[in-house]
């Protein structure tokens, strides 16, 4: 398996996902600014992978610190964390990882700065390695929802490119199945990334335009819909790539199970509902241009939210490394607090 992100020779190495599927290109992030741009520009993307990138970004942000005491170091660390946190607002894994790094530093404030730096790197690597274990556990649990011969519809990319290992939603697709992958406008993650990944793993995949899902469902060609998540509220409302909500409504109408697969780090149990989830809005050029070529009239108004929120009542079950959670989510998800 090709690693999406790894720590190598004192720097973070990522697959530049903006170059796929045409070229497999690696980007070496040697400083925090490069990592910030990698997250912002979606060179690294997918909630778990963003969390890993954020933790490594902290290491890059403080590795050259000349601070002589913890007070000075804490200030530099805080600046690095704030900077990385400004890259993207919706995926809670980003902030989960940053707070985890902050806590490591605070818990070791009595130690020399050099030792704290080493502990921060150790924690970033731990975040990455834990994700590998979590992906496999989610795959094991989620596999119970899929039968040999099933035809599954997915949206955006929730495979290995979104994590450090198998992926979230795509990780459960280990049986003899057929997959329809939405192209996922405007950045075509389904076409560029999901289709590429599934073909690499010899899984039968058919690419469709986003507006073809209803027809497939009406024809009885979809057995299940499986997606990932960027943030899940306490009541089960789920933020994921724009267009996910459309599929949930269609699946509900056609009585097709709709499953969300995401690690605990994607849960924001401090939020009571999806109404509180911040939704990132991205540049107009993502909609009006395709690889630098204009595909819309110059000056046209554009609305480009990167995510939408699927109401919990449209979700059949949520899978994470702790189990399969079903309705009513406001009660079952409270188990995660414990």
| DSSP three-state, residue 290 | strand
Give the separation between CA 282 and CA 293, rounded to whole angstroms: 18
| Residues 274, 239 contacting (CB under 8 angstroms) | yes
Strand 258-261 with 178-182, pairing = unpaired
Instruction: For residues 181 and 111, give the distance between their C-alpha atoms in angstroms, rounded to a whole number.
Output: 50
Distance CA 298, CA 19 (A): 26
* Beta strands in the chain, from DSSP E residues, in sequence order: 5-8, 11-15, 26-29, 151-154, 178-182, 204-208, 224-227, 231-233, 238-241, 258-261, 267-268, 289-290, 293-294, 307-310, 317-320, 323-326
Q: Which residues form the catalytic set? A: 230
User: How far is Cα 161 from Cα 216, in angstroms, rounded to an integer?
Assistant: 27
Instruction: Report the alpha-carbon distance of residue 109 to residue 12 in Å, rounded.
Output: 25
- SS3 percent helix, strand, coil of the chain, rounded to 5, is 45, 20, 35
Burial bucket for residue 310 (CB in 10 Å: 0-12, 13-18, 19+): buried
CA distance 236 to 326: 9
Dist. CA 197–CA 99, nearest whole Å: 31
State how far the Cα of 226 lies from the Cα of 98, in Å rounded to an integer: 28
Q: Which helix (H) or strand (E) holds 183?
A: none
Please, are residues 14 and 30 in contact by the beta-carbon 8 Å criterion? no
């Amino acid at each position: 398996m090709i690693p999406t992100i790894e720590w190598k020779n004192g720097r973070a190495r990522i697959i530049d996902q903006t170059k796929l599927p045409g070229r497999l290109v690696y980007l070496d992030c040697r400083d925090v600014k490069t990592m910030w741009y990698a997250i912002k520009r979606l060179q690294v993307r997918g909630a778990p992978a963003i969390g890993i990138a954020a933790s490594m970004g902290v290491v890059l942000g403080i590795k050259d610190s000349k601070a002589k005491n913890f007070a000075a170091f804490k200030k530099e660390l805080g600046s690095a964390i704030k900077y990385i946190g400004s890259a993207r607002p919706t995926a809670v894994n980003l902030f989960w990882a940053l707070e985890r790094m902050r806590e490591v530093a605070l818990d070791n404030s009595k130690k020399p700065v050099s030792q704290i730096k080493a502990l921060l790197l150790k924690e970033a690597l731990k975040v990455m390695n834990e994700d590998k274990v979590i992906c496999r556990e989610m795959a094991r649990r989620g596999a119970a929802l899929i039968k040999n011969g099933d035809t599954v519809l997915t949206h955006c990319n929730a495979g290995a490119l979104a994590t450090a290992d198998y992926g979230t939603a795509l990780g459960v697709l280990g049986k003899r199945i057929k997959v329809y992958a939405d192209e996922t406008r405007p950045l075509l993650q389904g076409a560029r990334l999901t289709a590429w990944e599934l073909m690499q793993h010899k899984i039968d995949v058919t690419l469709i335009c986003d507006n073809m899902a209803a027809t497939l469902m009406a024809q009885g060609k979809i057995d299940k819909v499986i997606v990932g998540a960027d943030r899940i509220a306490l009541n089960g409302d789920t933020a994921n790539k724009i267009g996910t909500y459309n599929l949930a409504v269609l699946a509900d109408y056609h009585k097709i199970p709709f499953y969300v697969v995401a690690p605990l780090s994607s849960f924001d149990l401090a939020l009571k509902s999806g109404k509180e989830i911040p939704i990132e809005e991205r540049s107009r050029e993502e909609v009006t241009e395709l690889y630098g070529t204009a595909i819309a009239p110059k000056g046209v108004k554009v609305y480009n939210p990167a995510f939408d929120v699927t109401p919990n009542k449209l979700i059949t079950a949520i899978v994470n490394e702790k189990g399969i959670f079903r309705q009513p989510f406001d009660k079952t998800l409270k188990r995660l607090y414990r």
